[in-house]
Amino acid sequence: MPISDLTPGKAVSGPVGFGLAGLGGARSALASRRGAPFLLHVWATWCSPCRHELPGLAAFMKAWGPDCPVVPMAVSSGSPEEIHAFLERNDVAGLPVWAVAGGDLKTWCGNRALAIPVTFLIDNAGCIRATAAGSLDWAAPGAPAALRRVLAATSA
C-alpha cells in the first residue's frame, strides 16, 4: 500500500495511553510525542509480511534521519533484547527496538481485532486518524514526500 493512501479522517480513538520498552531498560511514552503527528507501525517477529517489510522500513527511517516520524513497535515478540537479536539475525539492525510496555493496544484501538502489520496515523493529540492494514511500500519513489503530505494534512 502506498503511504499516500493514508488519508486522515475523524479521530477514531482516544489519546494513546501506553508506554514502550526498549533496549537496556529504556522506556518511552507515546504520549510524549503529542504535539506532532506520527506513524505507529505495529509488527511482530513471527509475521511473514512484517519480516518482508522490515528492510524497507529500516532503509526509509535511516534515509529520513533521527527525526523520522515513524515509531516501529513489536507486539507478541518477546523482550526488547530478543527483538533486537531477531533484527540482527535478519539483517535489519539499526531499526529502533520498541515493544508495548503497559497499557492495552487492543483497547486503545477500539477492541478491534488487529491484523499485522498495521500502521496507525496518529494526530497531534495522540488519536488515531487513519489505519493502514498490511504492508506499506516504504521504498516507493516519493515515499518521504508522501509521508510529509500526510503528516501536514493531519496537522491541519
pLDDT value of residue 30: 79
pLDDT value of residue 139: 93
C-alpha span between 143 and 82 (Å, rounded) = 30
pLDDT value of residue 136: 95
Q: What is the chain's pLDDT, residue by residue, as a tens digit (156 residues)?
A: 889 888 888 887 778 777 888 888 888 887 788 889 999 999 999 999 999 999 999 999 999 999 999 999 998 888 899 999 999 999 887 888 888 765 556 656 654 667 889 999 999 988 888 889 899 999 999 999 999 999 998 876
pLDDT value of residue 93: 79
Residue 128, beta-bridge partner list: 122
**Rounded to the nearest 10 degrees, how much is the dihedral formed by the CA atoms of 127, 50, 143, 56?**
140
C-alpha span between 138 and 117 (Å, rounded) = 13
Ramachandran category for residue 25: left, alpha or beta (phi over 0 → left; psi -120 to 50 → alpha): left
pLDDT value of residue 69: 94
Nearest alpha carbon to residue 117 among 156, 76, 151, 86: 76
Fold exhibited by the domain 3-155: Glutaredoxin (3.40.30)
Label each residue of the chain as H, E or C: CCHHHCCCCCCCCCCCCCEEECHHHCEEEHHHHCCCCEEEEEECCCCHHHHHHHHHHHHHHHHHCCCCCEEEEECCCCCHHHHHHHHHHCCCCCCCCCEEECCCHHHHCCCCCCCCCEEEEECCCCCEEEEEECCCCCCCCCHHHHHHHHHHHHHC
| Buried/exposed code over 94-108 (b: 16+ C-beta within 10 A; e: otherwise) | ebbbbbbbeeebeeb
pLDDT value of residue 141: 92
pLDDT value of residue 113: 62
